[in-house]
């Protein structure tokens, strides 16, 4: 039975939420496998807008099972607020349709404070985090001092682990001139959330094995994008987890042999939130036009996104690293009305032409894009549901992108609405 992994092929914000929602109609189980509540996914269904962060996109469908895997760092208070918000929109969330990995690590109130302190200490070299404590929570996980979902069952364990954690973190907070946390304050929070979170806790790895063996189709939903990967992204301006496709296996507890098809969500132009290199960034009226037409503001943070031309070099690199089989091309309609469009086909660095983005932070900052210019189109692509509805020049643009990134288009999204999607190749039907 086919299982599909969905990841972003750029710097996130590619429109993964809508595509995952569309694919979840064909899936039985939808799994989040990395990241935290810093990554927002927006779904527009029957005129209702759902803004999700921790909850998998499949939660809005009654007959699907949603899973938060061990690779996700979970802010229990944020999760409970999100559950409350979607329930007000008519979505039922119960232990029957939501499972949380018992070995997932928690984000505690101390972590956002640490995030803010670290960013303040960086001064002008801020990474541009969302300030939600994602990074510090992952640091605790790697340093083996994290508190996990399963720890909520035993208050004695919580007391011991909280004291051990705070002995480390309070030193940094005091050095930054911030008020240290008390163990009792954190314990009060966890006492409150424990009975509300524990009913969802499960050995998710075991459940996924059962789902796989029983023939259920599993959809793995990634957060952020490939170029924010902690190893292969624009380091240090990256997220604190691995965002490439292989993380779906380690972040959910299902072996890599279950990852049958990798779909890369790819925006028709390029955006980025926060600091870091951006070779094709446009700081002119064209960039402003892309931002305004694309409504480029963060789902969760409201932060304005930086905009630029499509970078085929970067996307091709992400495709190779993640083994992407096909892309879902999104926001093509934002390019409607441009007289000409540019695609980055290479970089120039110190007189040398490169066909990849180098790892060095200095080199990433200094590369200059080499552009190829294509004619734009005046007709609208918004809401198109077949290739016949697309202007010839739009089709030509798509075909040229396919050639440059060396990967075919599997899906084409022409609006935020679920039904405005052109299916080229069904990821769940490709063996």
Contact by Cβ (8 Å): 38, 134 = yes
Annotated catalytic residue within 3, 21, 37, 41: 41
Cis amide leading into 236 (omega within 30): yes
User: Count of CB atoms within 10 A of residue 87's CB?
Assistant: 11
Number of Cα atoms under 13 Å in the Cβ half of residue 345: 12
3-state secondary structure at position 30: strand
> Is 13 one of the catalytic residues?
yes
Sheet strands (E) in 25-114: 29-32, 41-45, 48-52, 65-68, 73-74, 98-101, 105-106
Task: Return phi, psi of residue 429, to 5°.
Answer: -110, 5
Distance CA(185)–CA(198), nearest Å, equals 20
Q: Residue 131 corresponds to which tokens in the numbers above?
A: 């300030």
Residue 127 CB burial class (10 angstroms; 0-12, 13-18, ≥19): middle
| Catalytically annotated residue among 13, 75, 115, 229 | 13
Residues with Cβ within 8 Å of residue 223, at least 6 apart in sequence: 8, 12, 16, 32, 34, 35, 36, 38, 39, 243
Residues 273/291, Cβ–Cβ less than 8 Å: no
Please, what is the Cα angle at 29 between 329 and 242, to 5 degrees? 60
Q: In terms of DSSP bridges, do strands 409-413 and 421-423 run parallel, antiparallel, or are they unpaired? A: antiparallel
Backbone angles phi, psi at 218, to 5 degrees: -110, 130
Write out the E strands in 9-102. Answer: 29-32, 41-45, 48-52, 65-68, 73-74, 98-101
Phi, psi torsion values for 91, nearest 5 degrees: -90, 125
323: tokens are: 């083994």
Give, in degrees to the nearest 5, the angle at Cα 380 between 374 and 384: 105
Closest by Cα among 128, 112, 42, 51 to 77: 112
- Catalytic annotation, residues: 13, 41
């Amino acid at each position: 039975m086919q299982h599909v992994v969905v990841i972003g092929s750029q710097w996130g914000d590619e429109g993964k939420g809508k595509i995952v929602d569309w694919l979840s109609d064909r899936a039985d189980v939808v799994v989040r496998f990395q990241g935290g509540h810093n990554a927002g996914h927006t779904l527009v269904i029957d005129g209702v807008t759902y803004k999700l962060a921790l909850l998998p996109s499949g939660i809005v469908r009654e007959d699907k099972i949603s899973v938060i895997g061990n690779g996700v760092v979970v802010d229990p208070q944020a999760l409970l607020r999100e559950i409350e918000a979607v329930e007000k929109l008519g979505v039922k969330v119960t232990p029957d349709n939501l499972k949380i990995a018992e070995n997932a690590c928690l984000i505690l109130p101390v972590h956002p404070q640490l995030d803010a302190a670290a960013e303040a200490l960086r001064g002008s070299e801020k990474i541009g985090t969302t300030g939600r404590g994602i990074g510090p929570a992952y640091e605790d996980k790697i340093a083996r001092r994290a508190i996990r979902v399963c720890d909520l069952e035993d208050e004695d364990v919580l007391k011991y682990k909280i004291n051990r954690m705070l002995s480390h973190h309070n030193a940094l907070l005091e050095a930054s001139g911030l008020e240290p946390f008390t163990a009792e304050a954190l314990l009060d929070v966890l006492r409150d959330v424990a009975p509300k979170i524990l009913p969802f806790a499960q050995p998710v790895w075991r459940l996924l094995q059962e789902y796989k063996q029983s023939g259920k189709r599993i959809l793995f939903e990634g957060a952020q994008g490939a170029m924010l990967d902690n190893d292969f992204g624009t380091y240090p301006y990256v997220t604190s987890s691995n965002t490439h496709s292989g993380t779906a296996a380690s972040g959910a507890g299902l072996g890599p042999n279950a990852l049958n098809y990798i779909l890369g969500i790819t925006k028709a132009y390029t955006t980025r939130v926060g600091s870091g290199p951006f070779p094709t960034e446009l700081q002119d009226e064209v960039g402003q036009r892309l931002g305004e037409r694309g409504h480029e503001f963060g789902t969760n943070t409201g932060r304005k996104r930086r905009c630029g031309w499509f970078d085929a070099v970067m996307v091709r690199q992400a495709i190779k690293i993640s083994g992407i089989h096909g892309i879902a091309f999104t926001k093509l309609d934002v390019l409607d009305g441009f007289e000409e469009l540019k695609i980055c086909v290479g970089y120039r660095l110190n007189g040398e032409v490169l066909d990849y983005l180098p790892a060095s932070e200095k080199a990433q900052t200094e590369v200059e894009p080499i552009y190829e210019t294509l004619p734009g189109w005046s007709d609208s692509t918004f809401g198109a549901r077949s290739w016949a509805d697309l202007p010839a020049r739009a089709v030509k643009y798509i075909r040229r992108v396919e050639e440059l990134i060396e990967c075919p288009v599997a899906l084409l999204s022409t609006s935020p609405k679920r039904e405005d999607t052109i299916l080229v190749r069904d990821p769940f039907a490709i063996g």
